[in-house]
């Protein structure tokens, strides 16, 4: 029985990862989910697992060393998803990014060191490299993060590495490209545009719409993390990518086409300050170990769109602002 501490498990990728673990390992895993329930944390994401005997939800902050020290001795593996994750919010208000993404990671690493954790997975991001116009980033390339979000993630990424080098804390660092799928807070490109289109609202495309991201279906990301827990080498960094580089405007048009909505919903808006032009990952280090994504982009996008169509209540509660009141009352928080 492997015991996991999943931080940020009520968010988009973390909740998909918890579903992934129960789908794959059923009762052979135990999961503690430590989540602060910021605006992005949503207990609705885990309704179907909340009564499992091998699942425990703890509402709390990864910056709370006393709480973290209580939980860490009860687990074998920490998977740290907890973060402020939205670039636009980091431009407006970086404070929480520095606290959670850097200091929170430090608190977890300290506890992992003290309690001799068996494995610590730091979920980093492709954004730590910055933008690349030609070619693709390898794990050994220089980090040139360009937003307060990516800079804070780079800080945690390198701090995790330093714990491996200095204290032999058994760290693995993953740098994944842009995720899409179920339970993504409707502020990111795909989740926002799909839900706006369903409501016949405008889709705000930044700048000229030609920025490029590499997209991966969230369950492929979860699978790669699981694969690396078994097959990754301690102290190493692994890029995880979907191999689906697309411009934002191409994605926007595809979403409208799949939903049979008019191009007139596209609205061109002022560019994001410091907007990275292109992300691209060289994933040979991971694929050489025998892992590859299972989902092709087009069918995973259709699956994702269908999920948002079928789960209108999930996102309309968030978008109407009733969400906070709802979950405070519903979950007695
Ligand atoms: P998200 O914003 O949907 O979820 C973040 C979760 O962390 C939320 O549940 C939130 O309540 C929780 N959280 C925030 N601050 C916390 C704190 N101080 N203590 C405890 N919990 C806290 O984010 P996501 O998109 O699921 O991303 C998860 C992780 O994956 C992040 O570390 C992010 O940097 C990384 N990542 C995301 C992507 C992507 O495309 N979304 C790609 C690569 C890497
Ligand atoms: O309204 C929008 N209009 C628009 O044109 C939004 C929200 C985004 N965009 C553009 C900006 C980016 O070029 O779409 C692209 C994707 O934007 P986001 O969904 O905000 O993602 P990105 O900034 O690329 O960062 C994401 O991928 C890496 C996640 O939010 C990060 O958490 C992850 O580390």
Answer yes or no: is pLDDT of 326 > 70: no
Give the model's confidence band at 329: pLDDT under 50 very low, under 70 low, under 90 confident, else very high: low
Cβ neighbours for 7, distance < 8 A, ≥ 6 positions apart: 14, 33, 34, 35, 62, 78, 79, 80, 81, 82, 104, 108
Answer yes or no: is pLDDT of 202 > 90: yes
pLDDT value at residue 330: 45
Q: Is 43 in the pocket of ligand 1 (CB under 6 A)?
A: no
Q: Which of the following is catalytic: 55, 129, 149, 295? A: 149
* Beta bridge partners of residue 216, listed in sequence order: 179
Please give the average per-residue pLDDT across 224-241, as a whole number: 98
Q: State in Å: Cα 229 to ligand 2 middle.
A: 27
Contact (CB, 8 A) for 269 and 248: no
**pLDDT tens-place string over residues 242-278:** 999 999 999 999 999 999 999 999 999 999 999 999 9
Average pLDDT for the chain: 96
126 as an active site residue: the answer is: yes
Query: Does residue 236 sit in the same domain as residue 193?
Result: no
pLDDT value at residue 331: 40
Domain count along the chain: 2
Contact (CB, 8 A) for 174 and 123: yes
Instruction: Kindly list the distances between the CA atom of residue 316 and the CA atoms of 112, 186, 202, 214, 326, in Å, as whole numbers in the listed order.
Output: 39, 9, 16, 27, 12
Any residues with Cβ below 6 Å from ligand 2, and which?
85-87, 125, 127, 178, 188-189, 192, 204-206, 211, 213, 248, 272
Q: What is the CATH number of the domain that holds 77?
A: 3.40.50.720
Q: State in Å: Cα 117 to ligand 2 middle.
A: 33
Residue 195 backbone phi and psi in degrees, to 5? -70, -40
pLDDT value at residue 227: 98
pTM assigned to the model:
0.96
Query: Does residue 133 sit in the same domain as residue 262?
Result: no
**pLDDT tens-place string over residues 43-91:** 999 999 999 999 999 999 999 999 999 999 999 999 999 999 999 999 9
pLDDT value at residue 31: 98
Q: What is the CATH number of the domain that holds 250?
A: 3.90.25.10
Q: Is 239 in the pocket of ligand 1 (CB under 6 A)?
A: no
Query: Does residue 8 sit in the same domain as residue 130?
Result: yes
Q: State in Å: Cα 124 to ligand 1 middle.
A: 10
- Domain range for 147: 2-179+216-240
* Beta bridge partners of residue 299, listed in sequence order: none
Query: Does residue 54 sit in the same domain as residue 132?
Result: yes
127 as an active site residue: the answer is: yes
**pLDDT tens-place string over residues 118-143:** 999 999 999 999 999 999 999 999 99
Q: State in Å: Cα 248 to ligand 1 middle.
A: 22
Q: State the Cα–Cα distance between residues 276 and 294, nearest whole angstrom.
A: 28
Contact (CB, 8 A) for 122 and 174: yes
pLDDT value at residue 333: 40
Query: Does residue 97 sit in the same domain as residue 23?
Result: yes
Answer yes or no: is pLDDT of 111 > 90: yes
């Amino acid at each position: 029985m492997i015991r996991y501490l999943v931080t940020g498990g009520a968010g988009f990728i973390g909740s998909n990862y918890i579903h992934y673990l129960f789908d794959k390992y059923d009762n052979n895993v135990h999961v503690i989910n430590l989540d602060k329930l910021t605006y992005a944390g949503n207990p609705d994401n885990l309704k179907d697992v909340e009564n499992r005997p091998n699942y425990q939800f703890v509402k709390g902050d990864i910056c709370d060393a006393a709480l973290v020290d209580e939980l860490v001795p009860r687990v074998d593996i920490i998977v740290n998803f907890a973060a402020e994750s939205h670039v636009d919010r980091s431009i407006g208000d970086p404070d929480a990014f520095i606290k959670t993404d850097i200091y929170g990671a430090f608190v977890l690493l300290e506890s992992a060191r003290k309690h001799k954790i068996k494995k610590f997975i730091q979920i980093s991001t492709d954004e730590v490299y910055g933008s690349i116009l030609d070619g693709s980033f390898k794990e050994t390339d220089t980090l040139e993060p360009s937003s307060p979000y990516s800079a804070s993630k780079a800080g945690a990424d390198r701090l995790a590495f330093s714990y491996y080098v200095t204290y032999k804390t058994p760290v693995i660092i993953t740098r994944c490209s842009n995720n899409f799928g179920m339970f993504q807070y409707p502020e990111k490109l795909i989740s926002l545009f799909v839900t706006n289109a369903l409501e016949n609202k405008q889709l705000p495309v930044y700048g000229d719409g030609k920025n490029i991201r590499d997209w991966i279906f969230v369950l492929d990301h979860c699978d790669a993390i699981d694969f690396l827990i078994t097959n990754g080498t301690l102290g190493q960094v692994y890029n995880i990518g979907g191999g689906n580089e697309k411009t934002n405007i191409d994605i926007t048009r595809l979403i409208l086409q799949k939903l049979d909505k008019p191009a007139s919903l596209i609205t061109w808006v002022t560019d994001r300050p410091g907007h990275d032009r292109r992300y691209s990952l060289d994933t040979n280090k991971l694929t050489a170990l025998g892992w590859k994504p299972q989902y092709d982009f087009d069918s995973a996008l259709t699956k994702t769109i269908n999920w948002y169509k079928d789960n209108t209540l999930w996102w309309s509660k968030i978008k109407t602002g009733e969400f906070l009141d709802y979950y405070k009352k519903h979950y007695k928080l």
